[in-house]
Amino acid sequence: MKLCRFQPRVISADQVGANAHPEVFQGVISGETVREISGDIFARWNVTNRSWPLTDVKLLPPVMPSKIVCLGRNYVEHAAEFNNPTPKEPLIFLKPPSSLLAPDDPIVLPPGVQRVDFEGELAVIISKECSQLGDGEDVRPYIAGYTCLNDVSARDYQALDKQWTRAKSFDTFCPLGPVMETEYDLGSGTVETLLNGVRKQYSAFSAMVFPVNVIIPWVSRVMTLLPGDVIATGTPAGVGPMQPGDTVEVVLAGIGTLSNPVIARTA
């Protein structure tokens, strides 16, 4: 089942005005139609009688997390492409929620940065409060679904700072979406990243150093995970730079395509 957050592209009559902003809805996608849902997508919800053609809505990040937890070097070949060792335990960092970007919105390159890379990833969305899970504990009750994520990274600052906060945290540096897929077979899943239609990254999730059922308990013993929180599971080899005018797509077969153009920040 594909759940989403969205705004209708046409503002209703009661929203017209100088300060009007389209209301944000939750929905379930069925074919080419988005049907509005009410309630809490992490608890109980119902489908309403309102719907829109998919072409008439603007998809937003499917959740608004309290935090975005990311794994570094979770594929052996990606660690090797930067001459880094494979971690002996999950290597985590955070991206701020302010870095979230909707599908089709532009990734904005900061001025003065010489290299900003794409990093296509599988993202796990947490369904309920999760803390102090033990190794081997069943993580399925804590997973609401999965989506695509692009861990955009300013390599200049990553090298200069010797830690990753600034490099990973700029506004627009965390494209997320287009939907949250609640039913997904990780065993046969793959991630692919395209730059201007050319494949740059491709891997099966089975190549992860630390799989999802290891990541969630490990992170839960560091910090309490809350409903809607996002865990980005790492990127495979093949990361590379983006330039203004490019378009980058992260593709998870069975979930969808997260596409974003790239622009330079203007004064």
CATH number of the domain that residue 106 is part of: 3.90.850.10
Q: What is the pLDDT of residue 11?
A: 62
Range of the domain at 240: 68-264
Q: Which of helix, strand or coil describes residue 213?
A: helix
Same structural domain for residues 80 and 128? yes
Distance (Å, whole) CA 37 – CA 151: 29
Same structural domain for residues 112 and 242? yes
Residue reference for tokens 């200069």: 160
pLDDT tens digits for range 47-72: 999 999 999 999 999 999 999 999 99
Does the pLDDT at position 152 exceed 70? yes
Say if strands 25-30 and 33-39 run parallel, antiparallel, or are unpaired.
Answer: antiparallel
Beta partners for residue 173, in sequence order: none
Alpha-carbon dihedral angle through residues 171, 124, 41, 188, given to the nearest 10 degrees: 130
Q: Output the average pLDDT for the chain.
A: 95
pTM of model > 0.85:
yes
What letter would DSSP give residue 206? Answer: G
Same structural domain for residues 16 and 125? no
Same structural domain for residues 101 and 52? no
Q: What is the pLDDT of residue 13?
A: 55
Does the pLDDT at position 46 exceed 60? yes
Q: Which of helix, strand or coil describes residue 92?
A: strand
Contacts (Cβ under 8 Å, ≥6 apart) of 260:
101, 103, 104, 105, 106, 107, 150, 175, 247, 248, 249
**Token pair for 123:** 């993202």
Distance (Å, whole) CA 85 – CA 73: 8
Q: What is the pLDDT of residue 18?
A: 44
Q: What is the pLDDT of residue 10?
A: 72
Q: Which residue has the higher pLDDT, 80 or 214?
A: 214
Same structural domain for residues 18 and 96? no
Same structural domain for residues 44 and 112? no
